[in-house]
Structures are given as structure tokens and as C-alpha cells.
Amino acid sequence: MFTILKFKEKRKGRRLCGAGTDWYEWDKEFIWKEQVTVVAPGVYQRFSGTTALSFMNILSRKEYGTGNLKTEHHFPNFALFNIDLTDPSTGFGAAGRFNVPLDMLYPDKNKNESGKLNAMQQKEVNKAHIQINAYYEANKLND
């Protein structure tokens, strides 16, 4: 509900934050609430041990082999970041679910706790960053 309300506010033309706001800090707080503290923890806990969460983990780690399934847009391969969405001991990959989106949105600004990204991780993040920007441009979502 947290995320839905934020997007409803945006769609209705409400300002989500004041003039001069540091959008990196706003996104950082938003992703933290969505992925680590408010929204996702309950969802992952609810689906822990289910086929649905296992399938989502396979998709996010791009471990599905060949076939008609295509998920190459808008997110990097979570396996490169050692993210396992099925592991409750890591908060279902909470640190990665927080840092990967920030790295995608702000590849030169986010300094995640695990330190500098290796070359393969940086390549994945940059590819996703380009794809997201292209999607926003194509759909005129940059305002």
C-alpha cells in the first residue's frame, strides 16, 4: 500500500517532496521503506517456502534456462550480487533489494555497504540504468 499511495499522489499531480529536494535521498528513503522496513518484509515472510517465492528467486537470478520466458529488462541478475530471495537469514536479500535499485538509478552516486561493485555487477547496473531511462523516455515519464 505504501508504494501504491506514493504513485497515486504522483499521478494526481501532487508534489512528493518540496523544491530543492535531493532526489537521491528521497529515493533512498522510499526504497528503504519499500524493500527493507515497511512493505517487502511481510510479503517475503508470507511467501517464505512457497513455490511462488522460489520462482521469483529463479527469475531474479536469471536461472531459468531457455524458453519463451524473457525478463531481461529493468533489473540486473541478482545472482551476481549474491542475493537470494528465499533466504530468511538475509532478510530475503534485503540489502541487495535496497542497494541494487539505488545502484541502477544512481550508478555514480550510491555507495552500498558491500563496497565498490565489481566489473560484472557494474555492467549489469549500467545496462539496467540505460533500459530504465529508455523506458521513461519512450513513455514520456520524465517530469
To the nearest 10 degrees (0 to 180), the angle between helices 94-105 and 40-47 is 130
pLDDT of residue 60: 86
pLDDT level of residue 86 (50, 70, 90 thresholds): very high
> Average pLDDT of 50-58?
92
Q: Does the reported pTM lie above 0.95?
A: no
Q: How far is CA 56 from CA 7, 43, 47, 108, 129, in A?
A: 23, 12, 10, 28, 21
pLDDT of residue 43: 93
pLDDT of residue 3: 54
pLDDT of residue 71: 52
